[in-house]
Structure 1
């Protein structure tokens, strides 16, 4: 009995499938749109190879499901942020595709990375030495990408480290350098001078390292033109339907639809306080609906937005709560919206980028914040 209890206690909420009936909200993920977005990016890249970034559990949408969809389109290279993500992805998709760990391997994680056949992204001289040592222990060359800091000051070897390595041909013993890579800080701003400055810095730094294919372009950089494409592009956001060209029409298809269930409806009179802190008072009689959805589900408390039902906008009233949001449904005919009905938070009426604009953030944060309590429905796969 105790063993059973321990096994149950060891499982996290994300281990349990959430049925549609039991969930407060439904997240529909269109894998057909994921595949089409990948095809559109590949068409823009021409002969340049196209990877898939599936870190943060595929931007919150399911790394294994997204990776499987991309594999069916010929994608054979994936990027995650952490070794734990890579190990989990390897178990899901099996042997074959390359899986690179963008943040590098923390000290001591090298044996697990070798066992899972992961490719290290080397961001420092210390990581280079550790991966070379792991190669000696494994008795074979180990695959890696060497990342250089071309001007973002986040990850990658500093120029001084690269210059020091230029005079040490033995530094890469045991390492199969498959790419030299870097990352642009301002790719979503096409006219920003930092883009060309970083590209030139990347050219200078990669010339000092072992001759290898190069990778620089994220989603937005794919749209900067061929000079940024090199040999491998690494799109993430665009695959998931986030606009890679802010201020212009989105060239990608939407991937997600998020709907929440109505938990209760009510009628209130003028002056009624609504929500925590009574930050809103009814200016006249109102019809309200409370939905089973809140900041515990990843909808940011600072968000000021609305839901939609049959094309009708239903504004939020008062504060976003942990598990609920109050909607003004006065625009609907009385009794039209009932307990158990679904209202839309993300979808045709409000894109991920629209929701991000209301919250003062970016689409990446909206998707990556989506919690585990939804019933996840995959279509188009």
Structure 2
């Protein structure tokens, strides 16, 4: 059987003019979704596509997830929900970040479903629905230990016992320490949510985010809602990542120069060369979402984590040298063969050779932040072998 070549869709900046490029492997995204759906069984699997599908683009992500069988989506804002509906009009779309009265006409017209997380929001929703014979659906968020959004457990149990109250179509909570399976808070949250599920008998329930799917108890509920793992991020800390990489970030080499031993590199003169050093200066910086904290020197993080970011080029990893700047990042390529790279070549910042989460750790952050910080100056390439089927 001959393997099909992926179809390539492009977006963003003209590749002839852009300083960097993003390659988004939609086949890998779908494979990750299917793996998570298999792990979630017997629960169904939705998808969290907030922040423009974690920076990958709703316009590209929603159609392939719909084709893969995803029928439920979660976003932060109603505006994002309308964009999802434009590409999947029959999908269920839940809005996570609260409800405000002025948005009610949008919910009436769009079939978006708000996730209500306070007695105030419940009262407001009830008031606005008065007089309607067809009450609009909503989901209920209960806080079982995160102290962020959601009714308290006792508030939710009292609400469940109110026979006059219009009940939700979905009951959700959010794991605070899901990426650390051994943390005691996970078990407490699962136990609290089981009590709530019993009180809201017959109502669909959801607790498992990306890391939660890998907890044995997650299959006891009805719907999982993965986010970062679909996009290639680690679902669990200190474990081998089972997800396929989805996003590759590369930057073009603008110039290769030689700095002499004893000279310094970049703003603040924070890197002093210990040998004659060949330096590749690349056209991506913190304005493009490659964080300044990934600098090789001259940022507070280097006091705690000695190694800064790395690139991958000509078959080897090369370190960031000096500070990452707004539009440029420099790499020490001294250990590469003399003619291994030239201006115009690309260096990988993360992708198949440098894991997203390793790049994030070098910058003192998490893969979520790197993905959702990606700027709009990149040329984007979307790979999809099933396009057009």
The TM-score, its normalising length taken from structure 2, stands at 0.88
Query: 1:42 is matched with which residue?
Result: 37
Matches of 2:163 and 2:216, distance apart in 1? 34
How far off its partner does 1:343 sit?
A: 0.7
**CA–CA distance in 1 between the matches of 2:147 and 2:311?**
39
Residue equivalent to 1:265: 256
Deviations 1:337-366 (A, max 9, x none): 222111111112201011122122211112
TM-score, length-normalised on structure 1? 0.90
* Pairing 1:106-185 to 2, within 5 Å after superposition: 106-136=100-130, 139-172=133-166, 177-185=168-176
Task: Kindly indicate whether residue 331 of structure 2 is the aligned counterpart of residue 327 of structure 1.
Answer: yes
Gaps of at least 5 residues in structure 2 are 1-10, 295-307
CA contact (8 A) 1:45 1:229 kept: no
Distance 1:64 1:334 in 2: 43
Distance 2:242 2:90 in 1: 31
- Alpha carbons 2:153, 2:192 under 8 Å: kept: no
Structure 2 residue aligned with 1:100: 94
Q: Gapped runs of 5+ residues in structure 1? A: 1-15
Contact 2:81 2:95 in 1 (8 A): yes
Q: What are the superposed Cα offsets for residues 23-55 of structure 1, whole Å, 9 maximum, x if unpaired?
A: 111000000001101111111222311000001
1:247 counterpart (211, 231, 238):
238
1:70 aligns with 2:50: no
Q: For structure 1, which segment, 198-207 or 178-187, has the greater mean C-alpha deviation from structure 2 after superposition?
A: 198-207
Alpha-carbon shift at residue 239 of structure 1 (Å): 0.6
Distance in structure 2 (CA, Å) of the matches to 1:371 and 1:324: 14
Number of residue equivalences: 362
Task: Rate the CA distance shift 1:228–1:94 in 2: closer, same or farther, 3 A.
Answer: closer
Which segment is superposed worse, 199-208 or 146-155?
Answer: 199-208
CA displacement, residues 74-109 of structure 1 (integer Å, 9 cap, x when unaligned): 100000011121122222x14100110111223311
Give the number of the structure with larger relative contact order, counting CA–CA contacts within 8 Å between residues 6 or more apart: 2
Q: CA deviation at 1:332?
A: 2.1
Deviation at 1:139, TM superposition (A): 4.9
From the superposition, tell whether residues 143 and 337 of structure 1 become closer, same or farther in structure 2 (CA, over 3 Å): same
Summarize the alignment of residues 1-381 of structure 1 with structure 2, pairs less than 5 Å apart: 17-91=12-86, 93-136=87-130, 139-172=133-166, 177-209=168-200, 211-303=202-294, 304-380=308-384, 381=387
| Paired residues of 1:215 and 1:229 also in contact (CA < 8 A) | no
SS of the aligned residue for 1:27 comes to strand
Partners of 1:362 and 1:184 in 2: CA distance: 17
1:140-175 Cα distance to aligned partner (Å, 9 max, x none): 221221111111111111134224424432231xx6
Cα-to-partner distance string for 1:108-157 (whole Å, 9 max, x where unaligned): 11212332220111111221222233434665221221111111111111
Partner Cα separation in structure 1 for residue 200 and residue 118 of structure 2: 13
